[in-house]
């Protein structure tokens, strides 16, 4: 791995390094502890996705990066750059951001969302989906209404929707997917699309193209089923985050209600 790559990995990571007696380098009287080096090496290895292993060469490169970083920090302080108004203002902004994040984390911990609350939200969502339909749809996107009509004419003559999508659609993924859009719930998707898909039966396609900012679309409904939610085990983390966010938003609203704002 190149030195610059290691430096980038280290600079992109926030490392909290404890003070240790054993040092691997001393830079103008400032020690770089072995714990610093160990932690930094671990960051590089983790961020490499398994492509880098611990080695003397890696440790030397990382040590050189830590030395360079310390020299840069010392020079910045020698020039009193940390006392300039722009720097102190930015530091204050970072501190405020960190404080907000700390409060939100504390509120999330305080929320203590239970499994019963998650289960209740899941059942509530199930109720909203009751009686609605999921459709498995595909699309062909072309650049003009004339081209879209040609696609429709080809379908009327027996053309295969998947093959037409692979050869004519502007969507790059269509070459692999045949225009497959996956499953979607008619009551939850954007209304213009739902209005186009709702009248179609299984294996039916639109005979009038729909225009969006992407181009002109021809849709096909491949399958229809009663609405199905993923099992609770799959969506539990998502529901938990949703409930936690609602708790945090409510806490902020309460703060506003109690505050004297002029």
Q: How confident is the model at residue 15 (pLDDT cuts 50, 70, 90)?
A: very low
Q: What is the pLDDT of residue 12?
A: 52
Residue 84 covered by a domain: no
**Count of domains observed in the chain:** 2
What is the domain-level CATH number for residue 222?
Answer: 3.10.50.40
Per-residue model confidence as pLDDT tens digits over 59-113: 999 999 999 999 999 999 999 999 999 999 999 999 999 999 999 999 999 999 9
Q: What is the pLDDT of residue 242?
A: 95
Q: What is the mean pLDDT of the chain?
A: 90
List C-alpha distances in Å: 70 to 40, 66, 77, 83, 251.
13, 6, 11, 18, 42
What percentage of the chain reaches a pLDDT higher than 70?
92
Q: Is the pLDDT of residue 238 over 60?
A: yes
Per-residue model confidence as pLDDT tens digits over 18-47: 444 589 999 999 999 999 999 999 999 988
Q: Is the pLDDT of residue 11 over 90?
A: no
Q: Which domain holds residue 184?
A: 132-226
Residue 247 covered by a domain: no
Same domain, 137 and 213: yes
33/165 Cα distance (integer angstroms) = 60
Helix, strand or coil for residue 83? helix
Q: Is the pLDDT of residue 14 over 50?
A: no
Q: What is the pLDDT of residue 8?
A: 57
Residue 103 covered by a domain: no
Q: What is the pLDDT of residue 3?
A: 53
Q: Which residue, 55, 79, 103, sits at the end of a domain?
A: 79
Q: Is the pLDDT of residue 2 over 90?
A: no
Residue 85 covered by a domain: no
Q: What is the pLDDT of residue 102?
A: 97
Residue 238 covered by a domain: no
Q: What is the pLDDT of residue 10?
A: 54
- Which DSSP symbol is given to 135? E
* Residue whose pair of structure tokens reads 């505050």 in the numeric block: 259
Cβ pair 58, 9 in contact under 8 A: no
Same domain, 222 and 156: yes
Per-residue model confidence as pLDDT tens digits over 115-154: 999 999 999 988 888 889 999 999 999 999 999 999 999 9
For the residues 222-237, what does the mean pLDDT come to?
A: 92
Same domain, 65 and 139: no
Q: What is the pLDDT of residue 248?
A: 97
CA-nearest of 93, 94, 75 to 30 is 75
Choose the most confident range, by mean pLDDT, from 139-143, 171-175, 185-189.
139-143
Residue 162 covered by a domain: yes
List C-alpha distances in Å: 115 to 111, 119, 121, 127, 245.
12, 6, 10, 18, 16
Residue 88 covered by a domain: no
pTM of the model: 0.60
Residue 120 covered by a domain: no
Same domain, 60 and 139: no
For the residues 180-199, what does the mean pLDDT come to?
A: 93
Same domain, 222 and 136: yes
């Amino acid at each position: 791995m190149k030195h610059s790559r290691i430096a980038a990995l280290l600079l992109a990571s926030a490392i909290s390094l404890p003070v240790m007696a054993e040092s691997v380098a001393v830079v103008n009287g400032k020690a770089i502890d072995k714990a610093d080096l160990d932690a930094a090496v671990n960051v590089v290895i983790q961020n490499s996705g398994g492509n880098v292993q611990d080695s003397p060469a890696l440790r030397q490169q990382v040590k050189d990066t830590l030395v360079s970083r310390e020299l840069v920090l010392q020079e910045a302080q020698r020039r009193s750059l940390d006392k300039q108004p722009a720097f102190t203002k930015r530091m204050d902004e970072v501190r405020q951001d960190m404080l907000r994040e700390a409060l939100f984390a504390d509120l999330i911990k305080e929320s203590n969302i239970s499994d019963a609350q998650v289960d209740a939200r899941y059942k509530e969502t199930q109720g909203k989906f009751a009686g609605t339909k999921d459709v498995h749809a595909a699309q062909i996107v072309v650049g003009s209404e004339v081209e879209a009509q040609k696609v429709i004419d080809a379908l009327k003559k027996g053309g295969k929707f998947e093959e037409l999508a692979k050869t004519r659609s502007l969507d790059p993924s269509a070459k692999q997917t045949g225009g497959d859009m996956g499953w979607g719930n008619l009551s939850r998707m954007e209304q213009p699309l739902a209005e186009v898909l709702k009248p179609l039966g299984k294996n039916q396609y639109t005979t009038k193209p729909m225009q969006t900012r992407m181009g002109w679309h021809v849709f096909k409904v491949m399958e229809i089923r009663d609405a199905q939610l993923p099992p609770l085990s799959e969506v539990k983390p998502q529901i938990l985050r949703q409930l936690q966010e609602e708790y945090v938003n409510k806490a902020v609203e309460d703060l506003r209600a109690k505050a004297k704002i002029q």
